Amino acid sequence: MNSPTASHKIHRTRCLTLIGTIITQFALGSVYTWSLFNGELSLKMAAPVSQIAFSFGLLSLSLALASSVAGKLQDRFGVRHVTLGAGLLMAIGLALTASANNLFMLYLSAGVLVGLADGAGYLMTLSNCVKWFPERKGVISACAIGAYGLGSLGFKFICGFLLSVTSLEMTFMIWAVIAMSMMTIGALLMKDAPLQAVSVRVAHTARDYSFAESVRMPQYWILALMFLASCMSGLYVIGIAKDIGEGMVHLSTQTAAQAVTIIAIANLSGRLILGILSDNVARIRVITLAQLVSLAGISILLFSRMNESTFFIAVACVAFSFGGTITVYPSLVSDFFGLNNLSKNYGGIYLGFGIGSVMGSLVASLFGGFTMTFSLIMGLMAISLLLSITVRAPCKAVEKSGAARLIAS
């Protein structure tokens, strides 16, 4: 039994880790201000905006790839050292972006280096923080991922102000210093979470699977497909919301641009509301709810004669669902496969974020227009809805000797 002093020390460590995670996540979320720089980088490099914007696609893909191996890095070096390394790499990537004068250097610095740094820090610090609070996984995920979302909003004002008072190159350099400083402070506050005890129930089941065990189960790939569908839906619609407003609803550029604010509010609301709800309702049912909301939004985009109001409702539905899904999924994966290997197990599923970030745009470019892409997204979401209704968490038998030892103790 823990002494009061030991309990107080654990509580203090948990709280400091949560604060450090929130600070780090806020800094990592700054990469979602990237659209602010497309215009000036286009002028600097004399390249079309579409080619400049491709760097963010590379960043998203690099982020997902780094997230998939972040758990192994943590096992070897610890959360504090990996976060410090991610902060340094992010600063190097942004500093090189400041001096980049061609597309190759831009893709390497902003796309690859910044993306790898962001991915290495994002999922690892989130998973580590959730492990510290196994009794409140949903709320903790909402706090951490909410901070990531707020980072994009906060740095939008920071970087926007810097661009208005100084040069593009100096803005990147100051951004690099701020982000690295915040991640350094956050890293110093964090500690690695202890291993969680495996619970043994009357039915002699355990829910703590290694990555190798998890990928051999159909449930793992069902969750991966559901996550991919949600990411494709959210990232595609959020990324082109302004273009949808102008092209399909025939709104003015100024009015269509208001979708960015609507999306930010809905996305953050989804993270907080569904994250908190997931501690009181079965998490797979929360995902089912998110899928229904997303399907409603896609149905409006695909089948209705939209006006300004229905357009904003549609994009808000998709953004709300996407934000909630991103928040609930780490805890859902831990419900299915255990907390101890969460970084590795969720890291594999998180590759769907990178794939989804390019899949929608790829389908749109191959088949032209929004209709085909929305139809594919709706089909995938409908399949995902059926899967979420029927999927059940896996169980594996506890070895008799192990069970006997636990019962004896």
Joined together, the tokens standing for residue 276 give 């908190």
Nearest CA-CA partner of 263 in 156, 110, 125: 156
Q: Are 308 and 314 in contact (CB under 8 A)?
A: no
| Per-residue tokens: 358 | 């390019």
Spans of the chain below 70 pLDDT: 1-4, 196-207, 368-369, 396-409
DSSP tag of 396: E
d(C-alpha 336, C-alpha 252), whole Å: 46
Instruction: Write down the pLDDT at residue 157.
Output: 85
What is the CA 163 to chain-centroid distance, rounded? 27
H helices present in 29-78, as ranges? 35-45, 49-77
Q: How far apart are CA 39 and CA 383, in angstroms?
A: 39
**Where do the domains of the chain lie, and which CATH numbers do they carry?**
12-189 (1.20.1250.20), 209-390 (1.20.1250.20)
pLDDT at residue 207 in the model: 65
pLDDT recorded at residue 180: 97
Report the C-alpha gap between 293 and 390 in whole angstroms: 18
**Amino acid, single-letter form, for residue 55:** S
The confidence score (pLDDT) of residue 403 equals 39
Note the pLDDT of residue 40: 87
Task: Dump the DSSP string for 265-330.
Answer: HHHHHHHHHHHHHTTTS-HHHHHHHHHHHHHHHHHHHHHS---HHHHHHHHHHHHHHHHHHHHHHH
CB 275 within 8 A of CB 327: yes
Per-residue pLDDT, 250: 82
pLDDT on residue 11: 84
